[in-house]
């Protein structure tokens, strides 16, 4: 199998410096966006807070962690 490096791309006006947190009240998800080797746009997404997130706008995951949002993983 041949592996190809891929770069995280800009999404929703956020520079590709790290995952962004998406508010989907009452949940929050972290996501990165990239293109596969064929040029298809892909999203890698993971729930990070379920049922209790007060988040109302997108922010970087690093900022979300600094604000003390507790990890609520299942």
Domain assignments of the chain as residue spans, ordered by start: 1-74
Is the pLDDT confidence value at 45 over 90?
yes
Sequence-distant (6+) residues with CB within 8 A of 68 are: none
First to last CA, the chain: 34
Token reading at 32: 């990165």
* Residues facing residue 22 across a β-bridge: 29
Asked if 23 and 53 count as a contact pair (C-beta separation under 8 A), the reply is: yes
Tell me the average pLDDT across 29-56. 87
59 versus 8: which is more confidently predicted? 59
Q: What pLDDT score does 74 carry?
A: 38
Threshold 0.75, pTM exceeds: no
Residue 53: CB atoms within 10 A of its CB come to 21
Which secondary-structure segment (H or E) carries 20? strand 20-24
The stretch 26-54 carries a mean pLDDT of 88
């Amino acid at each position: 199998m041949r592996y190809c490096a891929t770069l995280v791309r800009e999404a929703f006006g956020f520079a590709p410096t790290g995952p962004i947190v998406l508010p989907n009240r009452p949940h929050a998800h972290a996501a990165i966006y990239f293109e596969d080797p064929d040029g298809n746009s892909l999203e890698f997404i993971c729930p990070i807070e379920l049922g209790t997130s007060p988040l109302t706008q997108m922010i970087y995951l690093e900022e979300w962690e600094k604000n003390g949002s507790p990890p609520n993983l299942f």
